Amino acid sequence: MKSALILAQMLCVISICWAQSSRAPGRIEAEYYVAAYAQHYRVPVALVRAIVARESNWQPCVISPKGAMGVMQLMPATAKRLAVTDRCNLDHNISGGVRYLAWLMRRFHNDLRLVAAAYYAGEDTVGRRGLAYRNLDVVTYVRAIRTTYLREAGAESESKNTTAKRDVR
């Protein structure tokens, strides 16, 4: 009985450590799809990474109280519009989310503040009010996306600079 209890505790500790690991296999797969789809649809990788970090913290099948689901937290109507049938599938979810971001970028003329606000609050709401939209939740969300975006963009340029320096012949 005591050994079964110890085994159960060890399994709990291992599962907690695995869940908290920032580079779990699901995250590695998600990062691959983020980079691939962002490049394909010409959306800044740093923006997609910032949205994913804020929306789901890289958890593949998180469900919000409002019904958004998956790593990019697609709402049912948005997923349907983008032909995403399995919102928990990393490939489908990220493909749909990045396509939606690309569409928002076209609609809001690449103003990433409005793109982030529309991703969070809905394109119709932000489309009507633009930068005059002052909902505190949305302002906080956009600020968090901006902070993460700048950090991610800095990390990307650092890695490119490091590679370029090593490649000098």
Q: Is residue 34 part of a domain?
A: yes
- Residue 36's domain spans which residues? 24-166
Q: Which of 51, 63, 40, 45 is nearest to 160 (CA)?
A: 45
- pLDDT tens, position by position, 118-150: 999 999 999 998 888 789 999 999 999 999 999
Active centre residues (catalytic): 55
Q: Is residue 16 part of a domain?
A: no
Tell me, what CATH number does 134's domain have?
1.10.530.10
Residue 35's φ and ψ, nearest 5 degrees, are -65, -45
Q: Is residue 40 part of a domain?
A: yes
Measured CA distances, 165 to 4, 160, 161, 169 (Å): 55, 9, 6, 9
Q: Is residue 3 part of a domain?
A: no
127 sits in which H/E element: helix 123-129
Q: Is residue 66 part of a domain?
A: yes
- pLDDT tens, position by position, 82-129: 999 999 999 999 999 999 999 999 999 999 999 999 999 999 999 998
Binned at pLDDT 50, 70 and 90, residue 71 comes out as very high
CA separation for the pair 9, 124 (Å, rounded): 49
Domains in the chain, number: 1
CA separation for the pair 139, 129 (Å, rounded): 13
What's the pTM value of the predicted model, to 2 decimals?
0.78
Q: Is residue 10 part of a domain?
A: no
